[in-house]
Amino acid sequence: MGSARTVVIVGAGVAGCIFAGAVAKLSGVQLVVLEEATAGDHSTSGTGLNIGPNAIKALRLHEPELLADLLRVSAPWRRWRISDVDGTAWQDWDLRTLAEDAGIRIRWATLYDVLRERIRNWIQYESLVTRVQYNADGLLTVEYHSPNGIKRFDGVELLVAGDGRYSRVRRDLSGIPECAYYGVAIGRLMVPDTLGGLISDYEQWFNGPNRLLAFQVPADSIYIAATIPMSVGGEITNDLYRPDFLRARYNPVDRTACPAAAWIIDQLAGSASRIHWARFQDSSPCFRDERGRALYLGDAAHAMLPTLGQGATQAIEDACLAGTVFRARWDSIRDSPSGLPVLLRGIESLRLDRVRFAMALSINAADTIRALVDSEAGTREKQSPEFLAELSRLYGDVPSEAHVVAVMKEE
Ligand SMILES: Cc1cc2nc3c(=O)[nH]c(=O)nc-3n(C[C@H](O)[C@H](O)[C@H](O)COP(=O)(O)OP(=O)(O)OC[C@H]3O[C@@H](n4cnc5c(N)ncnc54)[C@H](O)[C@@H]3O)c2cc1C
């Protein structure tokens, strides 16, 4: 058996932490997770998340202890109701008819707390990775800024990009990914729940194509996501931070907003200056570098549209499956120079088609929130057996450990 192999994970986010938890237990691995944030700092994550049933299934099959920890600090996502802003229901799905597992609703900061606590011995905070490059010996060098100045790791045998949508690692090793824009702005906000239960599980309300979304997250907060059509590829404008602009977009002119929607509109208008707005965009998927030294996971591999709540959800699937691949095959490849590329190709073949499917369905499901659409007709079309079958596939088609092992035998 040779000496320990250096594995560096960039980013202690959703994918990075889960994969780190799997790799840390392997023999002959020297692991470090570089994270730019300071310990306990979640300032960029002050919102909520709905995590889809497919991530819960992935955790149940591959990371059951982590799932148990997350279920303790979250609420179940069981229903998905869509209404006109006046409260007329257009759709009310019970997710149990579409999936084996319920999803969860959770604070982003809580999710990070749970994930980072499990790998606390390996995280190096305040370490911003600024450059990654191949060496003459075929290994990698990772340069990062820390409170003690510029530092580097040489001789990195496996580098994992868990550094999100604007991944430095992917950019340096595989180039800037192609991005596509979809002509929708999304604003997110979390506020105290002063409604006494009027909003609980996942709901959406439409005023034309302008859509409100809200759900309760533990403890006692309401997460709000509001979308408004914008020009494709255009910039976020100052209008979006004006209370009167938001009221005009979401308040109907010919009918009255229902109490829940009216409350959300008041919250948006009252906090207009602190809403975090972003554009709907995704990026071309890619799971590894050409030389077989770097693995890309989560948003670094495939940023996707937020329509179906699949960003963190797919990041969890990625990390769970990649962890199982490493657990199943690490001992047999760790001393072979050609072993690592085989593992990375295996992860790609397990994930690429599935991620393309999730991305395409997320685009398809965004049809009701674009300019000049009939949102009610578009929502009602989603009751079709075809769309529901796609949703069931999204929520359920997660491979077991036995399937992963079988795929890896073919690599
Ligand atoms: C406001 C908001 C709401 C969302 N809601 C949902 C939702 O409801 N459901 C859902 O499934 N998805 C949602 N998403 C998307 C989801 O958050 C992401 O898809 C998910 O977090 C991606 O996980 P990741 O592990 O790839 O990256 P992240 O969780 O973003 O983690 C990346 C980590 O890398 C660190 N990092 C970045 N660059 C560097 C560097 N150079 N050096 C060191 N560290 C670095 C960051 O600090 C961070 O800790 C939402 C996103 C936003 C912004």
Nearest to 372 by CA among 230, 264, 241, 178: 230
**Atom of ligand 1 minimally distant from the CA of 278:** 53
Q: Which domain holds residue 154?
A: 5-75+108-179+283-372
Tokens of 295: 């693995």
Residue nearest to atom 38 of ligand 1 (CA): 163
The response to whether residue 20 sits with its C-beta less than 6 Å from ligand 1 reads: no
Q: b/e per residue, 218-253, with b = 16+ CB within 10 A?
A: eeebbbbbbbbbbeeeeeeeeebeeeebbeebbbee
Q: What is the pLDDT of residue 45?
A: 53
Residue nearest to atom 14 of ligand 1 (CA): 311
The response to whether residue 35 sits with its C-beta less than 6 Å from ligand 1 reads: yes
What string of pLDDT tens digits covers the 411 residues of the chain? 468 899 999 999 999 999 999 999 999 999 999 999 999 877 555 789 999 999 999 999 999 999 999 999 999 999 999 999 999 999 999 999 999 999 999 999 999 999 999 999 999 999 999 999 999 999 999 999 999 999 999 999 999 999 999 999 999 999 999 999 999 999 999 999 998 889 999 999 999 999 999 999 998 999 999 999 999 989 999 999 999 999 999 999 999 999 999 999 999 999 999 999 999 999 999 999 999 999 999 999 999 999 999 999 999 999 999 999 999 999 998 888 789 999 999 999 999 999 999 999 999 999 999 988 899 999 999 999 999 999 999 999 999 999 999 988 887
Does 297 fall in a domain?
yes
Does 295 fall in a domain?
yes
Q: What is the pLDDT of residue 259?
A: 97
Into how many domains does the chain fold?
1
Residue 320: count of CB within 10 angstroms of its CB:
28
Q: What is the pLDDT of residue 409?
A: 84
The response to whether residue 344 sits with its C-beta less than 6 Å from ligand 1 reads: no
Q: How far apart are the first and last CA of the chain?
A: 23
Does 187 fall in a domain?
no
Q: What is the pLDDT of residue 336?
A: 86
Q: In whole angstroms, give the CA distance from residue 15 to residue 293.
A: 18
Instruction: Write the DSSP assignment of 342-411 as a string of letters.
Output: HHHHHHHHHHHHHHHHHHHHHHHGGGGGSTT--HHHHHHHTTSHHHHHHHHHHHH----HHHHHHHHHH-
From 17, 45, 49, 223, give the residue whose CB has the most ligand 1 atoms within 8 Å, as the site to mutate. Answer: 49
- Angle subtended at Cα 408 by Cα 406 and Cα 409, rounded to the nearest 5 degrees: 65
Does 228 fall in a domain?
no
Nearest to 257 by CA among 102, 87, 124, 115: 87
Does 389 fall in a domain?
no
The response to whether residue 103 sits with its C-beta less than 6 Å from ligand 1 reads: no
The response to whether residue 129 sits with its C-beta less than 6 Å from ligand 1 reads: yes
**Atom of ligand 1 minimally distant from the CA of 164:** 27
Q: What is the CATH number of the domain that holds 64?
A: 3.50.50.60
**Atom of ligand 1 minimally distant from the CA of 311:** 19
**Atom of ligand 1 minimally distant from the CA of 127:** 43
Q: What is the pLDDT of residue 373?
A: 86
Q: In angstroms, what is the span from residue 409 Cα to ligand 1's centroid?
A: 32
Residue nearest to atom 49 of ligand 1 (CA): 13
Q: Which burial class, exposed, middle or buried, applies to 136 when counting CB atoms under 10 A from its CB (0-12, 13-18, 19+)?
A: exposed
**Atom of ligand 1 minimally distant from the CA of 47:** 1
Tokens of 409: 């035998």
Does 232 fall in a domain?
no
Does 324 fall in a domain?
yes
Does 123 fall in a domain?
yes
Q: In angstroms, what is the span from residue 164 Cα to ligand 1's centroid?
A: 5
Residue 2 φ then ψ, to 5°: -80, -170
* Alpha-carbon separation of residue 355 from 283, 299, 305, 361 (angstroms): 11, 11, 12, 10
The response to whether residue 309 sits with its C-beta less than 6 Å from ligand 1 reads: yes
Q: What is the pLDDT of residue 192?
A: 94
Q: In angstroms, what is the span from residue 275 Cα to ligand 1's centroid?
A: 17
The response to whether residue 394 sits with its C-beta less than 6 Å from ligand 1 reads: no
Helix, coil or strand: residue 76: strand
Q: In angstroms, what is the span from residue 48 Cα to ligand 1's centroid?
A: 12
The response to whether residue 187 sits with its C-beta less than 6 Å from ligand 1 reads: no
Q: In angstroms, what is the span from residue 196 Cα to ligand 1's centroid?
A: 30
From 35, 45, 280, give the residue whose CB has the most ligand 1 atoms within 8 Å, as the site to mutate. Answer: 35
